[in-house]
Amino acid sequence: MSDSQARVEVESPPPGYVRIADLLSALSLAADLGVGLPAEHAVRSCYLGMRIADRLKAPLDQQVGLYYAELLMDAGCTAWTSHFARYVMSDEIVARRDYYFFTDDHSPIEVMGWLKEYVATGQPTHVRAQQLLNFALHGKESTREGFRNTCEVAGRFAARLGMPEVVQTALVSVFEQWDGSGPGGIRGEAVPLISRIVYITSFLEAFHHVGGRTAAVRLAEERRGKAFDPTVVDAFLSLASEEALWETLEQESVWMRVLSMEPPSPYRYIKEEKLDDVALSFADFADLKSFYTSGHSRRVGDVAERMAKHMRLAEGEVSAIRRAALMHDVGLVAVPSFILHKPQNQLTQVDWERLRLHPYHAERILARVPVLAPIVPLIAAHHERLDGQGYYRGLSGSQIPLGARIIAVADRFDELTHERPDEPAVEQEAALQQMSDEVGHALCPDAFRALAEELRTSGATSLSRRKNRTPAWPAGLTDREVEIVRLLVKGLSRHEMAKQLIVSEHTVRHHLEHIYDKVGVSTRVGATLFAVEHDLLH
């Protein structure tokens, strides 16, 4: 019996526990969308990786680490997308995918072809010329910095999700190449075996999707001993001669097969109460898509939870609403940051359609996880309106779950009280006044009343931390360093920070070095995550 025909048996989690692979597969689906690849790219890469590891007779601990690293390989994909969007001034998801997978950055001809196709297309001639020059001068270093940020964020998410050290270490080196031409310059066996396998399988799966078996095999042969570890390539080529490998890989979905391949380990299940920590990871993953959204989903989760409690909903319902609110924007990973950074009055019809589909993408991503079934309808409906003019299904009135109506109000409140592209934040009372005009046709009256009453009875600071506080900052940060972190989170360059703070760029660089050292990160997006995790943005 072939691999694809074998009966797939998957053990159910113990009562009160959740399978971690289900959660990681949902995160991997979101990441697939974020890097512009078809659903189950990471899952299919995982299948290839586990088959290669078996052929190499890798030790169990390496197989365990590889399994989870394959599913988490693009967990940091939202880390640098805003910066990359500034460079290309177009759909950076497609541009990044084609640059990373299908452009040889050692070939000037291929790079020029990529630049011509993607950078500042549709912009005025002088703007495009400037962007092309910027990329020619700084693009390679910016790309390397993007890889470093992506790797650090993926490693931090792995740590937050309770993954073993071997997974965290592998993700930090996941873009390194056998010949040392990766972003960190690490070469050969100095690159962890898990990283070498993940790197290769990601490319093999992408090329197989585009060009079939022949393209994958040709790629392996061409890059053997260059970007790819020869031993790993040889293991793949020996498997490639077996029809069973391709039969499984070419099924419509390979998830159940991959789920059955999860090695035995202490990491297979987590307690259900840990879902709040997982939801926070999904929240931060989504919010890294834009300079304007850092901490957004956490704030919406806090406000929605307080509103639900104010409405005296049952404890289980309150918990579901909080988790749904934290994860409500995960579908935005499928929307280019270039679109998210546009003022609303500049959005094209195509832009709007992509935005309107983000609840659909979130529903599709999270439906894979059985334990999340109660909250998926709330997430899918959080942009519906009472008058039926919302999206993506056009539900109206009582068709919209109460939890979704609560999230919609909390989301709108946070949107108004925080800066957006070309739209400054407004004070809380002004936000309530503006929202009151939307009650009854867009926003739910009961949910809006709960928000207003909670703000006025508990005080504004119960929903949003006091802006003028002077606490002891975490990690020994000074007031000045926190000010710099806040500017960094907004995406300002060192030059822009120096200009705003009226100091030299050298002084800013010196501060950043101290900040990174204090908080234990090495990249600006790592510092952004630290700021979000420690509530430094208010």
Distances (CA, A) of 32 to 43, 75, 206: 10, 9, 11
Confidence at residue 139, expressed as pLDDT on a 0 to 100 scale: 83
Helices (H) and strands (E) in the chain, counts: 26, 2
Q: Whose CA is closest to 231, among 241, 242, 220?
A: 220
Interatomic CA distance for residues 462 and 351, integer angstroms = 36
Task: Please give the domain boundaries of the chain with CATH numbers for all domains.
Answer: 17-78+152-259 (1.10.3210.10), 81-147 (no CATH), 274-462 (1.10.3210.10), 474-533 (1.10.10.10)
Q: Please, are residues 397 and 446 in contact by the beta-carbon 8 Å criterion?
A: no
The answer to whether 120 and 91 have CB atoms below 8 angstroms apart is no
pLDDT for the residue 470: 53
Q: What is the pLDDT of residues 509-521, one digit of tens each?
A: 999 999 999 999 9
Q: By the 8 A CB rule, do 435 and 448 touch?
A: yes
What letter does residue 441 receive in the DSSP assignment? T
The CA–CA distances, whole Å, from 290 to 75, 79, 297, 528 equal 16, 9, 12, 12
Q: Which amino acid is at 161?
A: L
The full DSSP string for 29-79 is: HHHHHHTT--TTHHHHHHHHHHHHHHHTT--HHHHHHHHHHHHHTTTTTTS
The pair of structure tokens assigned to 325 is 């609110």
Q: Which of 70, 28, 59 lies closest to 265, judged by CA? A: 59
* Predicted local confidence at residue 362, as pLDDT: 97
Rounded CA gap, 410 and 402, in Å?
13
Contacts of 255 (CB under 8 A, 6+ apart): 25, 40, 43, 368
* Spatial contact of 73 and 154, defined as CB atoms under 8 Å apart: yes
Q: What pLDDT, on a 0 to 100 scale, did the predictor assign at position 422?
A: 83
Count of Cβ atoms closer than 10 Å to residue 389 Cβ:
11
pLDDT tens digits along 26-78: 999 999 999 999 999 999 999 999 999 999 999 999 999 999 999 999 999 99
SS3 293: coil
The predicted structure's pLDDT at residue 466? 45
Q: Which residue has the tokens 């050292």?
A: 517
Torsion, CA 482, CA 487, CA 490, CA 495, rounded to 10: -150
| Predicted pLDDT at 225 | 98
Quote the crossing angle between the two packed helices 125-160 and 60-72, to the nearest 10°: 140
Tokens of 446: 């009961």
| Residues with pLDDT less than 70, the chain | 1-8, 459-471
- Distance CA(407)–CA(321), nearest Å, equals 7
